[in-house]
Amino acid sequence: MAGEIEDDPQTSLLAERNVVYSDDIIGKKGTKWSAVAHIITGVIGAGVLSLAWSIAQLGWIAGPLAILFCAAVTLFATSILCDCYKSPDSALGPTINHSLLEAARFYFGKKWTWVCGLLQYVSFYGTGIAYIITSATSMREIQRSNCYHKEGANADCHTGKNIFMLIFGIIQIVTSQIPDFHNMTWLSVVAALMSFCYSFIGLALGFSKVIDNRRIKGSIVGVPAKNAAQKIWLVFQALGDIAFAYPYSIILLEIQDTLKSPPPENQTMKKASISAIVITTFFYICCSGFGYAAFGNDTPGNLLTGFYEPFWLVDFANACIVLHLVGGYQVYSQPVFAFVEKKLTQKFPENKFLNKFYAIKLPVLPAFQLNFFRLCFRTFYVISTTAIAMAFPYFNQVLGILGALNFWPMTIYFPVEMYIVQRKIGAWTKKWLLLEGFSMICLIVSVVGLIGSIEGIISAKLAKV
């Protein structure tokens, strides 16, 4: 790809932006730990709940190895992507790429910007859909666990998810009015704390169930299937689910753009990435391992749907998931909001509907600026993701598709190609061959994950007909 890019897009974009480093960092207050909070909010979400099921499909050896593989791949890819935040020098700039889309434009020119943008915003949008499905599942489990506790294990406590999706959608309509990424650190901190809570609870419940069972369930080859073809589909889908568990590369540069300097942002972001990946991988291995050990072949698609006692603890864990995903949804939606609103206000600077703000002061709450376009656009965005989630409420399959679509192009391909351009790595050199070989291996993982997850959705749809 490096040979196909436009002639020296960096030079023209430098002149177009005329970025002054000292002016660009004004107002940035982010630290390593605020970045860790943003990353954990984006990473430990819907993905952690499906990992026990994924381990169950792959077995005791391949399952944990697949998680470690995705963690290592993500850590390497994010490390080289951190260096692409500033150009041409990764620490001094002077040009700053505030998002993955800006970085793609700088390194590849306008020709490839729309490709990166399409993939990125489809991924953002799809993650919002997945978070709605996950939150609805958790809210339904609160209702079911209370029902079983009151009525007994044989009671009919099954309810649909649609009402809970609507409730979550209404909550997101309100929180979507947070102006931008720089104003939601508090929400990310709360969400990150919630993720730790339900991860610890899931780990503890799995461990206690293993003790109660007095044996470790599961096998080397995983859950048996009716035939070899079905086993292959399930393994592919499990790989897609694991890939979804590390999705934050697409928002890395937005997070890095919140960091103060000195030290250089790429150094702080690399440290934050290492801390966040180590923390999340520890929880992933523990939660998925104890979940599979507790349930064996009966491991549920969403780990916390397998426990009903102690009901109050299960309720609390599911409530933590919902609170976390309120913030997680915004982490992946704010870049979309910022992109659309920035483009339209630049194109129509005199339009009052787009550009005029009204000061609103409500009792108790602090004053905020109301913009009618922001209110309408963000409300429609939330409604559309909620409607699609209601149409395709398939937890594991949706996560698998999103993980596969995001893993190679956004987590691997663009960071690798940007790094090659920035470091001027020549084609067919040893380093170039290693990077491109690494990219192709990850492409294969993405393709098989996508195939398995699409087959899973088709089978689920046909089964309901």
Domain ranges in the chain are 29-461
Whether the upstream peptide bond of residue 415 has omega within 30° of 0, thus cis, is no
Q: Kindly indicate the confidence band of residue 203, based on its pLDDT and cuts at 50, 70 and 90.
A: confident
Task: Report the alpha-carbon distance of residue 339 to residue 291 in Å, rounded.
Answer: 40
Determine the pLDDT at residue 380.
93
Q: Indicate whether 15 pLDDT > 60.
A: no
Distance CA 435, CA 428 (A): 10
CATH number for region 29-461: 1.20.1740.10
Mean pLDDT for 3-26 is 45
**Mean pLDDT of all residues in 166-170:** 92
pLDDT averaged over the chain? Answer: 80
Kindly report, residue by residue over 67-90, the tens digit of the pLDDT.
999 889 888 888 888 888 887 777
253-274 confidence digits (pLDDT tens):
888 888 887 788 888 888 998 9
Q: Taking the CB of residue 338, how many other CB atoms lie within 10 A of it? A: 16
Distance CA 118, CA 21 (A): 29
Q: Are 272 and 79 in contact (CB under 8 A)?
A: no
Higher pLDDT, 311 or 427: 427
DSSP sequence for 220-253: SS-S--SSHHHHHHHHHHHHHHHHHTS-GGGGHH
What is the per-residue pLDDT for 56?
92
Residue 50 main-chain phi, psi, to 5 deg: -95, -5
State how far the Cα of 219 lies from the Cα of 426, in Å rounded to an integer: 46
Q: Residues, the chain, total? A: 465
Helix, strand and coil content of the chain, in percent to the nearest 5, comes to 75, 5, 20
Report how far residue 87's alpha carbon sits from residue 418's, in angstroms, rounded to the nearest whole number. 11
Q: How far apart are CA 161 and CA 342, in angstroms?
A: 35
Reported as a single tens digit per residue, the pLDDT across 446-462 is 888 888 888 887 877 77
104-122 pLDDT, tens digit each:
888 887 777 888 888 878 8
Query: Are the C-beta atoms of 456 and 237 separated by less than 8 Å?
Result: yes
Q: 153: which 2 tokens?
A: 């294990």
Q: Which residue in 133, 108, 210 sits closest to 421, CA to CA?
A: 108
* pLDDT grade for 17, boundaries at 50, 70 and 90: very low
CA dist., res. 447 & res. 453, Å (int): 10
- Asked if the peptide bond before residue 262 counts as cis, ω within 30 degrees of 0, the response is yes
463 phi and psi angles, rounded to 5 deg:
-65, -25
Give the pLDDT score at 178.
Answer: 74
Containing 415, the helix (H) or strand (E) segment is helix 414-422
